[in-house]
Every structure is written in structure tokens, then in C-alpha cells.
Structure 1
Amino acid sequence: MVEGVAIAWWAALLGLAVAIVLILRKLNATYALMLGAVVGCVIGGATLSQTVNVIVAGGQSVVGTIVRVLAAGVLAGVMMESGAANRIAKTIVTVFGEKFAILSLALATMIICAVGVFIPVAVLIVAPIALEVGNRLGISKVALLVALSGGGKAGNIISPNPNAIAAASGFDVPHSSVMIGSFVPAVCGLAMAVLLATLLRGRGAAPTAAEVDANDAADDASLPSIGRALVAPVIAVALLLVNPIGNVLNIELLTRFQVDAMYILPFAAVVGLFAMGKGRHLLDYSKAGIGRMTDVVLILIGAGAIGGLITNSDLSTQIVNLIKAWGVSGSVLAPLAGILMAAATASTSTGVILGSNSFGASILDFGVSPVAAAVTMQAGATVIDHLPHGNYFHVTGQSMKMTVGERMKSVPFESLVGLTMTAVACLTTGLF
């Protein structure tokens, strides 16, 4: 908090509301969040100089997350640009075959996300395969998107993606602890996505022949083999799990391996790149990866600004008092904060940043462990992060050749997947 600044809770809410309205009006999310922070600070009684201090302090609070996100960009760039992610998706769908088509599509998107590819990009990668399968088997586009989006959400909470990094940084816990704690909720989310997609397979129009990407199969020969494609993600996951395994098995040598994801993810990416025989593309793929991270970093800065506004207000105190007055367990604040903040910004990572920065101290004051708080808040952020004022809604709809009306039909079912993961996360972490 900035010394000497005390902003009223209603001003913080007003600032957040201004940011949401501006995002809905299609203003760049970073500017919308920063402008909302300025409005909230000024209306709340802060001077112009104090407002600058609040926003700068808020931006500084997300620097650790930004550094790790930029490091993760190397892995994301390698997985996407080399074709490794595409190869993994194609292999999963081929292995499971038409009999388990929906499971294979959901699992492919889950794994692509889990190895460090952003969820919108993961859906984009698997979408051409899904359209082809849907056209051949008569599976509706709504069912296909529920499978892809649900699988992506499941993979997203066990990944080295910005949301998981933000959850770990926000509560100062190892990234691997968040990934491990989210595994069972992710599996349950995958199961729910497959179940819902199976029930919806005949509901709505199936992809037409004209909507199938005819060029998708032609690119297959240029992709790396599945063995080479898996090198980078396997190394990343293995190194991230060394310390937790050492703690579980009480092996002192392994517990001393305390290497941050900032080092592990780029290292795994470089090794994987050379394993695919594409080491000469390191600079190009790294450039592409950091390019994909630019928008995320900018949004994180905006989230830090609005988080600074909320942190310097008494909003969290008022919410805690409200929870106590209702007689509700304070442990629900972590998932609830994730749900509300992600819904407000239509972004999982931004929701986690806002939730952890604004309500982190209050959540821990209720006796919730940092790992439980990180796991449940991140799961909560997947419930309604796919609303129309965010890019994910439109990017995924376009990838599946859907109209806005068709895209809206999948929203409640995607939310059921997120709710499933949130409920399971609360149960497995002992909140309920």
C-alpha cells in the first residue's frame, strides 16, 4: 500500500466499473484498466501525485509475474512455431480414433495448454481437426467447442501459462505446487467437458464441408515427430516437479533443487528446439514467443494498476465484513474473488492478478493456506472468463466458424466445466 493514501471502497468499485465499461466499449484493456484506476483514485480522494504513486506501486506488484511470463514466452514460441503443439494434437486424435473423438479433441486441447500454449491458441490449433471430425461424424459445433474450451480450461490450470504463474506469484508459492494442486480438478474438468460435449453432439449444426480446412492435412509432413515434439514439455514438467517430489519423498538432494520457472521454461524450450533439429530458428521462435506475450504483459500492467486502486482502498475489508455478517465461511473468498475478477475482465490471468493482489491478505487472514488460495482462486477464474467482452470469446468462435449467437450457446456449458473444477479444487484443498 502507498503510505498516506486511503481510498473509499465505493470509489474502488466505481473505478473497476469504469474499466469494465470501457473494455465493453472496445477500448484497449490495458488503457481501460489504467483509466479505471485513475478515476477510482481521484474520486476516492487521492491527489494526482498520489494517484501516480498508487498506479506505479500496482505495476511494481506484478513485475515478478511479468518476468516469468516473458520467460514462458520462449517455450510458447517454440511449441507453436515449430509445429510441436500441432503434432501433439494430431497424434492424440489419431490414437484415440473416431470412437472416442470428443475425448481425443478435449484431451488434445488440454495437453496443448498444459505444455505452455495459451488457451485461445490451443483452440486455434485443434479447431481445424475438430471441424474435420465434426463434419465426418455429424458432431455439432457447439459440442465441439465445449470439448475444446473445456479441455483447454483443464489444461490451463496445470500449465506454465500466465494464469498459473500469476497464482503462484500472488501467493508466493512454487509454481509446481499450483500445478500439482490443480491436477485432480483439471481431470474432473476434462471429464465434465467430455460429458457435456457428448450430450450436445446432436444439438445444433455440424460443420459443413466448406468450413473444413482443406490445407490442414497438407502441412502434416512438415511437422516434427511426436517423440521430438514432446522433448521440451517433458523436460519442463520434469524439472518443475523435482522439488515437490523431493518434499513428498523426503529426499534432501531433490529438495535442494529450487530452480524457478524463469530458468526452467526457456531451458526446456532450447533443448526441445535442438532435439527437433531446428536450433537455427531459436532467435525467430523466441521473437515470436515474446511477441505473443506482449499483449499479456500489457494487460498485467493494467491489472496491476487497478489492483493498486483496490489494495489502497478498504474494499477487501468491507467484503470480509460482509462475509462474516452473512455467516459464510471466509474460505470461499479465494474462489469467489477469482470468479468475480475474471468475469469483470473476461481474462483468467487478469482475474487471478486482481484477486490475489486485492484480496490475498484477507484470504490468508481467514487461515487459508497459500497453496489452497492459489489453486482455488485460479480454478474460480475459469468459471466465467469466456464472456463476450474478452478476446477469448471471439477468437474461439471464429476458429470454429460460429456466429455470435452460436458462440453464446456454449457459454453456460463452459461455465459448468469451470464450476466443476472450482468445486473439486475446494474439496481437494480442504476448503469445504
Structure 2
Amino acid sequence: MTPLVISWVGALIGLLLAILLILFKLAPTYSLILGAIVGAFIGGADFAQAVSIVISGTQSVMGTVVRIIAAGVFAGVMMESGAAEAIAKTIVDKLGGTKAMLSLALATMIITAVGVFIPVAVLIVAPIALSVGNKMGYSKVALLVALSGGGKAGNIISPNPNTIAAAGGYKLDVNQVMLGGLIPAICGVIVAVIIASMIKYKGTKVTDEEAAELEKVSTTNLPSLAKSLVTPAIAIVLLMISPVGSMLGLDALAKLKIDSLYILPFAGIVGSLALGKRKKILEYCSSGLNRMTPTILIIIGAGAIGGLITASSLPSQVVSLVEASGLSGTFLAPIAGILMAAATASTSTGVILATGSFSNAILNTGVAPLSAAVMTHAGATVIDHLPHGTYFHVTRNAMGMSMKDRMKVVMYESMVGLTMTIVAVILYGFIL
């Protein structure tokens, strides 16, 4: 029996409907599933076939879902124990005020890179940034450029849900995608520091009243740096064993295929013991799972819309369009990441939609899986910070900014994301 091929028109309408519903604030999971069902009907499916498309699509993302659930243990430990805040505070203190923008960008980059969500990373470092800004006379716009730019750089080399989704979408290990994003991330944080330094005196300053409020918040109960580094160090070292083995030609290490599914929970549990928080392990696990739940639900919805597109002729139409335009198929990966993240104002959701909907089309252009994953991932950082998403408002509130000042930051954030995307395309699209 010939499998049903959904019309590309139905798939496109379903995708656009899902994005439109997200913009109108319907829960992303419902938006994506509803878009998949409507698109299937418009594309020629009957009731049974529409259900089959949605079920097969959601089943395809279960591997990613399980890994993200496992990552919740790691995230819970880093966020709830104070380890992430301790790392950030140490970095800023050691580099000092004269290198403030570099220290703030690095602090946010590093704690995002070790598995803290980027909005949470900004929330953690924001009080430190405001205190430094008050002492040095720096503007809030410049401070947030440093924080957000550093966070974006760390986000493409972290074991966060977006990286796990990018890896899962192209059948890769998460450590491969993390390592692949390293050079673009370094370039991104450099650009963030340069931009922030150029505009550090332009815009609204941190008031003495705001600084006084920050001094009321105690940080005396933070763990030591050595204890705080145990969790991320274990995770990074173990996740890098297979990639390093491949690079050095050590087959025994390369064949281990160590997976984030068990490494991240293991690192979280050992880190809890090192922090002296044995009795709080269950609490950290629950907190981490709660933080991961919204992303898990979005992935399930994205799997549904991905199932629709996979069952349709849209991927082949996209490839034909790219070939007809004379544009290299290499650009399809970053464009997909840019557009999906812009539509949803979310890095994670953008990556999930881009990989779930267009991974096969991208690979059909001849792009290698790792190259596609890194370019899609980097592309999702270009305009994922628009006002219809939560990141825009979380960061605005964290810095106590006006809407006008927060909008000024958007352009600079896009410059950082675009830098990482250009570097990723040059490196993985044309050199490697």
C-alpha cells in the first residue's frame, strides 16, 4: 500500500497556523498539535491518517524528551544549590571592574554553557551587573548586551534543551553539537564584549537607589567555587571523552559513545554530594524536572508538526526551490533556525521546529548532519529575543529597564547571533 503524501500546501498552512496561534498566546503545545491536525486535513488526510501522522511525529521525538528529562537533574543542582551564582560571582570578582564587560559576558556564557537556562543565567548575573554598572557608571543597555551576548554564546555549547534538540534532530550525540559550536560561541562573546564596551556610557544608568536595594540581598550562603565546579566539570569531562577520542584517533574512547542521558544525572548527583547537599537531591530533581516540563511539552507539539511536514511534499518542494534560486543548500539550515526562532521568540522552540520540520530537507541538499546541526543552532540565536517571547520580558525585568531601553538591546543581540551564524556557515558550510 502506497503511503499517503500530504500536499505541501496543507503542511505549509498547518505550520503557519501553529506559528500564528503561538503569536496569539495559545500554549505552544496546543498550537503545534492543532496546526498539525488542520494541516493534515487540508493536505488530504482522513481522520485516521491525521491521527497516525500526529502519533508518529510525537514518537519520533521521544529520544530527545527522555534526554531532556534526564538533564533536569543537572539543571536543578546548578540552579538551586547556588553553584551557578557562585561561579558567576567569582568570575566577576577576579576580573575586576576594569574588565567589567568581559567578566559579565564570560560569567553568563560559562554558567549557560554548564547547563543553566539562558533566562535564569541572566537573572543570576543581573544583580552583579547592576552593582558593577553603578560603580563604573555604565548604562543598563550595555550591561544587558554583555549578559545576553554571553548567554547566547554559552547556549550553543551547553547541554541545554536546545542543544539536545539540535543533536536529536540530526541523529547526533549532544557532545558533538556542543563542541561544534565552540568557535562560533567564542566569536559571539568577543563581539558582545566589543559592542558593550563601545556603548557602555550610552543610555540609562543604574541609580544609587537600585544599587542600595541590591546590597540588601545576601550572598554569604553560596558554596565555594571548588565545590560549585564539581558538577559541570564531571559533565564536561565525561561528555568530551568520545569527541576527543575521535579527534586523537583513539578508537577505544571514540567507541564509548557516552550519552548525556546518564552523564548529566550522574554529574548532578555527584555534584550534590560534593556540595554537601545530599538531603536535597530529591528536591533538586523535582525542581529540575519542573523547569524542563514546558520545553518537553513544546517538543511533543513540535514532533506533531514535524510528523506532518515529514509526511508531506513540502521538504522536496523546499529543496527544489533552493536549487532553482541558485542559493547553496548550505544556507537552508541557518535560515530555518532564524525563521523558526523568530516566529516563536525562543531558541529552544526555534531549534525544535527547524530540525523537526526541515532536517530531512536540509540533509537532502548534501549538508553533513553535524554541519546542519551547528548552523541551525547558531541561526536560532539571531532573532530569538523578540517581545512576543518570555526572554525579552524576563531580562527587561531583571535589569529594571524601560521598554524603550530594552528594545535598543534587540539590535545588538541580533548582531551577536548573526556573528555566530556567519562563523558557523563559513566554518561548517564551506571550510569543513
TM-score range, shorter chain: over 0.9
- Cα offset, 1:25, TM superposition: 1.8
Does the CA-based 8 Å contact 2:114-2:159 persist in structure 1? yes
Q: How does 1:238-253 map to 2 (within 5 A)?
A: 238-253=237-252
* TM-score, scaled to structure 2: 0.96
Equivalent residue number for residue 331 of structure 1: 330
Residues of 1 paired with 2:369 and 2:237: CA distance?
A: 23
Equivalent residue number for residue 85 of structure 1: 84
Quick check: 28-37 or 7-16, which moved more?
Answer: 7-16
Q: What is the RMSD of the two structures over their aligned residues, measured on CA atoms?
A: 1.6
Helix, strand or coil at the partner of 1:332:
helix
Equivalent residue number for residue 105 of structure 2: 106
- Cα offset, 1:10, TM superposition: 2.5
Helix, strand or coil at the partner of 2:383:
coil
Equivalent residue number for residue 298 of structure 1: 297
Letter in 2 for 1:314: S
Summarize deviations over 1:167-188 as a string: whole Å, max 9, x none: 1111111211111111010000
Residues of 2 paired with 1:336 and 1:13: CA distance?
A: 16
Summarize deviations over 1:111-159 as a string: whole Å, max 9, x none: 0100000111111111111111122222111111111111001000000
Residues of 2 paired with 1:307 and 1:391: CA distance?
A: 24
> Is 2:266 aligned against 1:267?
yes
- Cα offset, 1:264, TM superposition: 0.4
Equivalent residue number for residue 424 of structure 2: 425
Does the CA-based 8 Å contact 2:319-2:365 persist in structure 1? no
Letter in 2 for 1:187: I
Letter in 2 for 1:49: A
Summarize deviations over 1:62-84 as a string: whole Å, max 9, x none: 11111111111101000010000
Letter in 1 for 2:241: V
Residues of 2 paired with 1:373 and 1:12: CA distance?
A: 22
- Cα offset, 1:404, TM superposition: 2.6
- Cα offset, 1:39, TM superposition: 2.0
Equivalent residue number for residue 283 of structure 1: 282
Residues of 2 paired with 1:169 and 1:262: CA distance?
A: 12
When residues 4 and 251 of structure 1 are mapped into structure 2, their CA distance, relative to the original with a 3 A threshold, is closer
Helix, strand or coil at the partner of 2:159:
coil
- Cα offset, 1:358, TM superposition: 1.9
Q: How does 1:168-183 map to 2 (within 5 A)?
A: 168-183=167-182
Equivalent residue number for residue 354 of structure 1: 353
- Cα offset, 1:215, TM superposition: 5.0
Quick check: 361-370 or 332-341, which moved more?
Answer: 361-370
Residues of 2 paired with 1:412 and 1:354: CA distance?
A: 24
Q: Which runs of 5+ in 1 are unaligned?
A: none
Q: How does 1:346-385 map to 2 (within 5 A)?
A: 346-385=345-384
- Cα offset, 1:255, TM superposition: 2.2
* TM-score, scaled to structure 1: 0.96
Letter in 1 for 2:282: L
Q: How does 1:147-166 map to 2 (within 5 A)?
A: 147-166=146-165
Equivalent residue number for residue 5 of structure 2: 6
When residues 217 and 227 of structure 1 are mapped into structure 2, their CA distance, relative to the original with a 3 A threshold, is farther
Letter in 1 for 2:376: M
Equivalent residue number for residue 415 of structure 2: 416
Helix, strand or coil at the partner of 2:339:
helix
Residues of 1 paired with 2:363 and 2:26: CA distance?
A: 34
Equivalent residue number for residue 73 of structure 2: 74
Residues of 2 paired with 1:190 and 1:21: CA distance?
A: 33
Quick check: 90-99 or 348-357, which moved more?
Answer: 348-357
Residues of 2 paired with 1:7 and 1:388: CA distance?
A: 34
Letter in 2 for 1:276: L
Residues of 2 paired with 1:362 and 1:16: CA distance?
A: 15
Helix, strand or coil at the partner of 2:386:
coil
Does the CA-based 8 Å contact 1:128-1:216 persist in structure 2? no
- Cα offset, 1:217, TM superposition: 6.4
Helix, strand or coil at the partner of 1:221:
coil
Identity across matched positions, percent? 58
Letter in 1 for 2:80: E
How many corresponding residue pairs? 431
- Cα offset, 1:3, TM superposition: 6.9
Quick check: 252-261 or 382-391, which moved more?
Answer: 252-261
Helix, strand or coil at the partner of 1:220:
coil
Q: Which runs of 5+ in 2 are unaligned?
A: none
